[in-house]
Structure 1
């Protein structure tokens, strides 16, 4: 794991005193759902700026540990509206905001060199997860997911370090982009449709080695 993704003493000192304790707890590999929720509730109560998100990167990265995907998937495939009626909704709240935070940092070019590969390994399984359950994860749970996620892939695709990591997933990435494009064409937002269509077209036009 890249050093910038570890919750070191330096990173802790840049997190506000109010959030420091919950940040340390949420980033712990053995963190419980309540600890992750407390951190995310604290950070989403304040205006999200890049300066706020940068020191929180290790926590956002830790929350996106793909190890929890199977249990959440099993719950989503069960009976009833588990997103609203169980812990699953809280898990999705943490995951969706962690994705939003990391995508914001990537697009702002505030992710340290050397960390892209580790970030991709955590983010990509969740992008696939949100795509698989897009009909269930509606509304504010995964807001503007296609715009954010396609731009995230596009941004990483211009980074040689990240591109090498993404190369092994290129087939699945193309499928993901194709589905995003198809759903985009069904939407009503013409401005976003035009911008994202151009982005997807450029991604497919540029061969990946």
Structure 2
């Protein structure tokens, strides 16, 4: 699972770098065709990112299930070995007893302790398993939600940019970022002049080339 997580982290970092690169290419002098090209790049990046997140989550879930099955199988085998050993070592309480799928020749207090410990271990493991599975699902949905937020948080900012009171800054402000996101997402729906006006309201005045 560590390998899968590391691979996803690398993919996320690469996608973030690609996103920054796409944003850095936005210029006031871009034509509609150039904006369309950036839009297609951004859409492809998001598709690849969504696919990587889902594939990673599925792979981690499969690893968790396999590890769980192996653990339960190993625990059952160990329990059988311990009970068989106790059958040889103990001589008191020679009573045949069936516990689950395991049949022993004797039933002593020690036999019962082994069975109780097995059941307690299974219970604890089940709780850990469900908790880890919930964490994996939560992480997946959180990452997918971040991608969705990147798509939809720019609409209101772009609308606000039409007001004369829009502020400019020397760096990349929140309104600048969200405006760019909006322009990328709704490129086909907006006339070129309106797109450029949106950018002008938030990007640095000298960023023309």
Query: For this structure pair, what is the TM-score category when the shorter chain's length is used for normalisation?
Result: under 0.3
Tell which has more relative contact order, 1 or 2 (C-alpha 8 A, sep 6+). Answer: 2
TM-score, normalization by structure 2: 0.26
